[in-house]
Amino acid sequence: MSEIKPAPAVIRVAHSPDSDDAFMFWALAHHKIDAEGLTFEHILTDIETLNREALKGTYELTAISYHAYAHLHDKYALLNVGSSVGDKYGPVLIAKKPLTRDELTQITVAVPGEMTTAYLALKIWMPELKTAVVPFDQIMERVESGEFAAGLIIHEGQLTYQQQGFVKIVDLGEWWFEECNLTLPLGGNAIRRDLGPEMIQKIGRVLKRSIEHGLKHREEALEYALQFARGLDKKTADAFVGMYVNEMTLDADVEIRKAVKLLLWRGQAIGVIQDKIEPEFIDVLPELAGSV
The set of catalytic residues is 155
Helical ranges in the chain per DSSP H: 19-29, 47-55, 66-72, 101-104, 117-125, 139-144, 157-160, 172-180, 196-216, 218-225, 234-244, 247-250, 254-269
Pick from 151, 137, 166, 189: nearest CA to 12: 189
**Cα–chain center distance at 178:** 21
61-65 and 108-111 strand pairing: unpaired
Pick from 256, 277, 255, 253: nearest CA to 266: 277
Is 92 in a helix, a strand, or coil?
strand
Pick from 143, 149, 147, 139: nearest CA to 118: 139
Is 271 in a helix, a strand, or coil?
coil
Helical ranges in 3-65 per DSSP H: 19-29, 47-55
**What Cα–Cα distance (Å) separates residue 175 from each residue in 60, 104, 171, 183?**
34, 17, 6, 10
Dihedral angle of Cα 191, 195, 199, 202, to the nearest 10 degrees: -10
For 67, half-sphere exposure in the C-beta direction (CA atoms, 13 angstrom radius) is 26
How many angstroms separate the CA atoms of 63 and 83, rounded?
9
Going by the DSSP 8-state scheme, the letter that residue 126 receives in this structure is: -
